[in-house]
Amino acid sequence: MTSIATDISTPRSGGLRSWLERYPFLPALVILIALLALNGLFSPNSLSFRSLAGLLSTYMALVMLAIAQTYVVSAGDIDLSAGATLSLVNVAIVVLMERWGGGAGAVLLALTLGLLIGLACGLVNGLVVAALRLQAIVATFATSIFFTGLALYVMPVAGTPAPTIFWRTYGGRLLGLPFVFYVLAALAILLFLLSRTRIVTELLAVGDDQQAAYQTGLPVVAVRIKGYLLCGLFSALAAFCLTGDTASGDPLVGGKMTLYSVAAVVLGGSALAGGWTTVVGSLLGALTIGLVNSLVFFMGTPSEWQNFVQGLAILIVLMAGVLAGRRARV
């Protein structure tokens, strides 16, 4: 799996700085390793193979959502409805699986429709942002309310269980390995294939200089819409992982995850202004946020202080990652 972006400027020579220029996700990787060590210090069992697999299974949804956010950020846009899209797909597939009997055929058909719902949400965002030229941050905030409303209509109350075959597969093992490892491998292949397509280069070109991209003949509107379609696709995949981990539907589950996904993108070394992004960094950023949450729990932080400590820790980690990345580009 490779970075989807590199700076278009000529790399400068000079030890660590050149490494940071070439691999902008290095600060996130260092922070991730440090957090792993701290987790192991407070809870040695947290570094066991089983615990790490469980951690990956829990935070795979956030990894997918951070990658979804990366593609729209590449073009200089943002999607504040990614979490709401996740919620809508989550409740839709749970309800469809239940109504169709919960068998293997019902699960596969519901997942297919879930992907189509994610793509439809992405298309709506692409049309209102790129075609109608509304501000991305305002337009996607509005669509997030719309998608949340649809999710509440589909499932007014959280708690409908997912079919056993689905969550046992996601949380189980295949050929001796946790199933989530196969999900990670499939994700790596998908990202590699996407990195070899023109869409990634076009998104970065639009994010770097939209006017220049237009003057060179790039269909800017179509490219931005494709970015939102990719965001909708990965948001749907995030919903699949979340459903497999929680084994239930919740129409409000994605609300908090939207801002986590934005934080993961920034922590991973991407520029919110566009033109400079890395999916590897977003993946590491999402896992870092997950480890921060685990560390707060392992430290025995009182429940009334957990949100405060989590927010403060994520802020410190973000500052460290962003400052290191900024120094590399100065």
- Measured at the alpha carbon of residue 107, what is the angle toward residues 103 and 111, in degrees to the nearest 5? 175
Whether the per-residue pLDDT at 56 is higher than 90: the answer is: yes
User: Which pLDDT score is estimated for 326?
Assistant: 65
Lowest mean pLDDT among 93-102, 150-159, 211-220, 295-304: 295-304
Binned at pLDDT 50, 70 and 90, residue 207 comes out as very high
123, 125, 130, 135: CA torsion to nearest 10: 180
User: Which pLDDT score is estimated for 1?
Assistant: 43
User: Which pLDDT score is estimated for 328?
Assistant: 57
Locate 64 and state its tokens.
């997918």
Percent pLDDT > 90 in the chain is 65
Locate 130 and state its tokens.
């790129």
Give the global pTM. 0.91
Mean pLDDT, rounded, of the chain: 89
Binned at pLDDT 50, 70 and 90, residue 10 comes out as very low
Percent pLDDT > 70 in the chain is 93
Whether the per-residue pLDDT at 112 is higher than 90: the answer is: yes
What is the number of alpha carbons within 13 Å of residue 327 lying toward its C-beta?
11
Whether the per-residue pLDDT at 131 is higher than 80: the answer is: yes
Whether the per-residue pLDDT at 229 is higher than 50: the answer is: yes
Among 122, 136, 80, residue whose Cα is nearest residue 254 = 80
Whether the per-residue pLDDT at 114 is higher than 60: the answer is: yes
Over residues 9-30, mean pLDDT = 70
Whether the per-residue pLDDT at 11 is higher than 70: the answer is: no
Q: Could you read off the pLDDT of 171-193 as tens digits, one per residue?
A: 999 998 999 999 999 999 999 99
Lowest mean pLDDT among 17-26, 64-73, 248-257, 267-276: 17-26
Whether the per-residue pLDDT at 239 is higher than 80: the answer is: yes
Q: Could you read off the pLDDT of 298-321 as tens digits, one per residue?
A: 888 887 788 888 888 888 877 877
Over residues 282-292, mean pLDDT = 92
Distance in angstroms (rounded) separating the CA atoms of residues 233 and 85: 10
User: Over the chain, what HEC string results?
Assistant: CCCCCCCCCCCCCCHHHHHHHHCCCHHHHHHHHHHHHHHHHHCHHHHCHHHHHHHHHHHHHHHHHHHHHHHHHHCCCCCCCHHHHHHHHHHHHHHHHHHCCCCHHHHHHHHHHHHHHHHHHHHHHHHHHHHCCCCHHHHHHHHHHHHHHHHHHHCCCCCCECCHHHHHHHHCEECCEEHHHHHHHHHHHHHHHHHCCHHHHHHHHHHHCHHHHHHCCCCHHHHHHHHHHHHHHHHHHHHHHHHHHHCECCCCCCHHHHHHHHHHHHHCCCCCCCCCCCHHHHHHHHHHHHHHHHHHHHCCCCHHHHHHHHHHHHHHHHHHHHHHHHHHHC
User: Which pLDDT score is estimated for 160?
Assistant: 87
Give the pairing of strands 173-174 and 177-178: antiparallel
Q: Could you read off the pLDDT of 318-328 as tens digits, one per residue?
A: 787 777 666 65
Lowest mean pLDDT among 7-11, 211-215, 253-257: 7-11
User: Which pLDDT score is estimated for 190?
Assistant: 95
Residue type at 172 in one-letter notation: G
Whether 52 contacts 290, CB under 8 Å:
no
